Amino acid sequence: MTEGGKTTSPKLSPAARAVKKWRRKRGALIMVLHEIQNQAGFVPRETAREIAEGMEVPLARVYEVLTFYNYFKLRPPGKAVISVCTGTACHLKGAPELVAELEKELEIGQGETTPDGLFHLQCVRCVGCCGLAPAISVNGKIYGKAAPSQVRQILAEWRAVFREEDVDD
Amino acid sequence: MTEPDLKKIAGEELARQGEKSARIACCASTGCLSSGSGEVMEALLEALSSHGLADKVEVVPTGCMGLCSHGPLLGLEIGGEDGFRFLYQEVNPLLTRLIVAEHLLPSLEAGGDFPVPEFLSSHLLPLDIPFFTRQEKVVLANAGRINPERIEEYIAAGGYRALEKILREKTPDAVIEEVARSGLRGRGGGGYPTGVKWRNTADSRGGEKFIICNGDEGDPGAYMDRSILEGDPHAVIEGMLIAGYAVGAQSGWFYIRAEYPLAVERVEKALKQARGRGLLGKNILGTDFSFDCRVRLGAGAFVCGEETALLASVEGKRGTPRPRPPYPSQSGLWDSPSCVNNVETLANVPAIIRQGAGWYAGMGTETSKGTKVFALTGKARYSGLIEVPMGTTLREIVEEIGGGSSSGRPLKAIQTGGPSGGVIPVSLLDTPVCYEKFQELGSIMGSGGMIVMDGADSMAEIAAFYLEFTVDESCGKCAPCRIGGKQMLDLLKKIAAGEGNARDLSQVRRLSEAMRRGSLCGLGQTAPNPVDSTLRYFEGEYLNLLKTDDD
Ligand SMILES: Cc1cc2nc3c(=O)[nH]c(=O)nc-3n(C[C@H](O)[C@H](O)[C@H](O)COP(=O)(O)O)c2cc1C
Ligand code: SF4
Ligand code: FES
B524 lines ligand 2 (CB under 6 A): yes
CATH (residue range B6-133): 3.40.30.10
Whether A36 and A84 map to the same domain: the answer is: no
What average pLDDT does range B99-119 have in this prediction? 88
Band (A8; pLDDT cuts 50, 70, 90): very low
Cβ contacts of A133 on chain B, cutoff 8 Å: 377
- The order of strands in the sheet holding B57-62 is B57-62, B22-27, B74-78, B84-88
Is the CB of B313 inside 8 Å of chain A's CB atoms? yes
What dotted CATH number matches B158-361?
A: 3.40.50.11540
**Predicted pLDDT of residue A5:** 41
Q: Is the pLDDT of residue A57 over 90?
A: yes
Beta strands B57-62 and B22-27 are parallel
Is the confidence at residue A1, as pLDDT, over 50?
A: no
Model confidence, pTM: 0.94
- Give pLDDT tens digits for B282-301: 999 999 999 999 999 999 89
| Domain residue limits at A130 | 80-168
A75 in a structural domain: no
Q: What is the DSSP string of B216-248?
A: ----TT--HHHHHHHH-HHHHHHHHHHHHHHHT
From chain B, pick out residues whose CB is under 8 angstroms from the CB of A91.
221, 465
Of A28, A44, A68, the domain-final residue: A68
Residue range B215-245, pLDDT digits in tens: 999 888 889 999 999 999 999 999 999 999 9
Residue A153 and residue A98 share a domain:
yes
Residue A30 inside a domain? The answer is yes
What pLDDT, on the 0 to 100 scale, is given for residue A141? 86
- Tell me, what's the ipTM? 0.89
The confidence score (pLDDT) of residue B2 equals 59
For the domain that residue A88 is a member of, what is the CATH number? 3.40.30.10
Cβ of residue A129 lying under 6 Å from some atom of ligand 3? yes
For CATH 3.40.50.11540, list the domain ranges present in chain B: 158-361
pLDDT band (50, 70, 90) for residue B454: very high
Instruction: Evaluate whether residue A153 is within a structural domain.
Output: yes
For residue B380, the chain A residue with the least C-alpha distance is A131
Pick the last residue of a domain from A47, A68, A89: A68
pLDDT for B469 equals 93
Average pLDDT over residues A34-53: 94
Q: Could you tell me how many helices (H) and strands (E) chain B has, helices first? A: 25, 13
| Residue B80 confidence (pLDDT) above 70 | no
Write down the mean pLDDT value for chain B: 94
Delimit the CATH 1.20.1440.230 region(s) of chain B: 459-545
Residues A113 and A64 in one domain: no
Q: Is the pLDDT of residue B368 over 60?
A: yes
Distance CA B499, CA A109 (A): 25
Quick one: pLDDT band at residue B112, thresholds 50, 70, 90? Answer: low
A63 and A89 inside one domain: no
B415 reaches A (C-beta below 8 A): yes
Annotate B409-432 with DSSP letters as a single string: SPEEEEEESGGG-EEEEGGGTT-B
Same domain, A32 and A97: no
A5 found inside a domain: no
Identify the pLDDT of residue B257. 92
Q: A163 pLDDT band (50/70/90 cuts)?
A: confident
What is each CA distance from A19 to A8, A15, A50, A74, in whole angstroms? 21, 6, 9, 19
> What pLDDT does B451 receive?
93
Does residue A32 sit within a domain?
A: yes
Q: Say if CB A86 and CB B221 are below 8 A apart.
A: no
Test B68 with A90 for CB contact under 8 angstroms: no
Most A-contacting residue of B89, B227, B377 (CB-CB within 10 A), to test interface: B377
Give the residue from B33, B223, B443, B473 with the most A CB atoms within 10 Å of its CB, the best one to mutate: B223
**pLDDT at residue B107 greater than cutoff 60:** yes
**Contacts with B294 from chain A: Cβ below 8 Å:** 25
**Same structural domain for residues A85 and A123?**
yes
CATH code given to domain B371-454: 3.10.20.600
CATH number, domain B459-545: 1.20.1440.230
- Cα separations (Å) of B531 from B419, B422, B485, B488, B496? 10, 8, 11, 9, 12
State whether B221 and A124 contact (CB < 8 Å). Answer: no
Residue A128 included in any domain: yes
A148 — pLDDT class (breaks 50, 70, 90): very high
Number of folded domains that form chain A: 2
Residues of chain B with CATH 3.40.30.10: 6-133
- Model pLDDT, residue A168: 57
The answer to the question of residue A142 being in a domain is yes
Q: What are the pLDDT digits (tens) for B306-322?
A: 999 999 999 999 999 99
